[in-house]
Every structure is written in C-alpha cells, then in structure tokens.
Structure 1
C-alpha cells in the first residue's frame, strides 16, 4: 500500500517567452480559460476568490498570491473557511522554443482537527476523497497546461 501523496508536479513546454506566460498566469481571471475546474475568478489585489466546479459539485476557494516573480514563478495559497488547503504554483524556465512551465500543487492539510475538517469539507465540496486528490490534480494539471499552451500560442 502506498502512502498519501502530498505534492504533485507536471511540466509542459509552452511556445511563448517566460514573461508572456507569466502575464497570462498572473491575470488570475484567465484561470477559467484553462483550468478544468475553475469557472470564475474575482480578483482583489493580492487575493482572489475562485469558484470551481466538478460535475455537480460547486465550491469556492479564497486565495492569496505568495510568489509573484515576473518571468520566473507565480504561486498562491488556497484556503477554505480560513483553513489551509493547498499551494498552487507555476515555475517558468526559458527554453530554446519558449518556456518550460511546471505547475505544482502542495497539500497544506497536514495535522490535527484543522486537517480533519479541511478534508471533510474537501470531500463534501469536490467529491474527491483525500486518497485520490493527487491523482485527480495531476490529470487536471495536464489539461490546464495544454490549454495554457494553446492560449499562449494563439496570443503569439
């Protein structure tokens, strides 16, 4: 039996320079264009609220931007009802043909009653059990990166 997976990364080369990819990612309203779950984003300075959907489940996430390094990295922490949930981020590495984009997810639900409550809320709102969360996120990341790449290619 394997243990719980607490972080996932996926990478894809995008045919655009790092600054252009960063600009797309930093405009958090555009997340709905490429994420298979995000349906709407309300930005508020260094924070934003994302509304997500998976099948019949709909939930919101309150996010705070924690890394904003143009051309290099963009990341945000996601909370629900004040409980830490995850860190989502994108590292950008220049390549000959554009940018290697590495999307990463780190589960921040680590211990105690806060973890148990966050896990329960996650299951109720998303329908994804904790043991399958990493695999689900990996598949979503692949879709997100393909859509991001296509959007950057169209903008070029």
Structure 2
C-alpha cells in the first residue's frame, strides 16, 4: 500500500450544525477532544478566516508546536485551517457539517498532507523527529486520532 495523502472520518451527532461549528471554531477547546493537541493559544471566540493560532501537541514522549491559519470559516458548513511548522506547509485540517434531517449533524473531519515540493524532505524529517510518526504512517495515526476526536466531540456536545 502506498502513502496516503489525505484522510476523512465522519460521525453523526445529536447536535445542530451551528452548535458543532461553534465548538470546532473555538479552537482553544481542541485540547478537550484531540488525542495529540494539548492546548491552543488563540484569541477568544470562534476564529474567522485568516486568523492565526498556535497548537501545543504531545504524543507519548514527543512534544511539539505548530502555527496555523484559518482558511475556511463558512458558518455552520465548514471550518478548516492550514498547519505550518518552522515556516513549512505541513497539513490542512478541516471539518464539514451536514444536517442529517433529524436535527443532528454528520461531521466529517479531514486531513490533507501538504508536505510536497522542495521543502518536503525537511518537513517530513521534522515531522518524524517531533511527533515520532514516519510520513508513511501519518495517515494511519491521523485516522485513529480523528476517530477519538470526533467521539469526544460528540460526547461533549451531548452533555
């Protein structure tokens, strides 16, 4: 099997798209759900397109930070951000929200690897050194993390 460059995971939630969007776009809460993200430094409130934030991450003994910029802030439909590290493009993460017809929402979390082009070998090396995950295993690790994140998000919104 070749390297995967993108991953998507979906889950149904008993919450309206607006509620899910508000939770996800309040990126300072990401540490509550993500198994890698421990904290986010950002301004208060839902972030808008173009705004930046810093994520502090941990996986086992590995600790690292990333800088991100919101690329999509389409109220109640989609929220996405681009992750950079040391000035190199790393990934795009996002969430799409679709009403399910019963007052709930199907939430799809997606990830796309941006480590291509001239800086890719260095970006891949940084990723392996800081996260402990080789580039060819990143998609698998993200798929597992997405399932955990979406499950925790669903629990938080159901409470």
The alignment's TM-score, normalised by the length of structure 1, stands at 0.95
Number of the residue aligned with 2:104: 98
The superposition leaves residues 15-71 of structure 1 with CA deviations (integer Å, 9 ceiling, x where unpaired) of: 100000000001000000000011110015610000000000000010000000111
The alignment's TM-score, normalised by the length of structure 2, stands at 0.94
Q: Distance in 2 between the 1:75 and 1:26 partners? A: 9
Q: Distance in 2 between the 1:3 and 1:38 partners? A: 27
Number of the residue aligned with 1:142: 147
Count of aligned pairs: 152
Q: Could you say what secondary structure the match of 2:42 adopts?
A: strand
Number of the residue aligned with 1:25: 24
Cα drift, residue 97 of structure 1: 4.4
1:121 aligns with 2:154: no
- Note the aligned Cα RMSD (angstroms): 0.9
Runs of 4+, deviation exceeding 3 Å = none
Q: Could you say what secondary structure the match of 1:23 adopts?
A: helix
Q: Among residues 121, 127, 136, which one is paired with 1:131 in the alignment?
A: 136
Cα drift, residue 111 of structure 1: 2.1
Number of the residue aligned with 1:58: 63
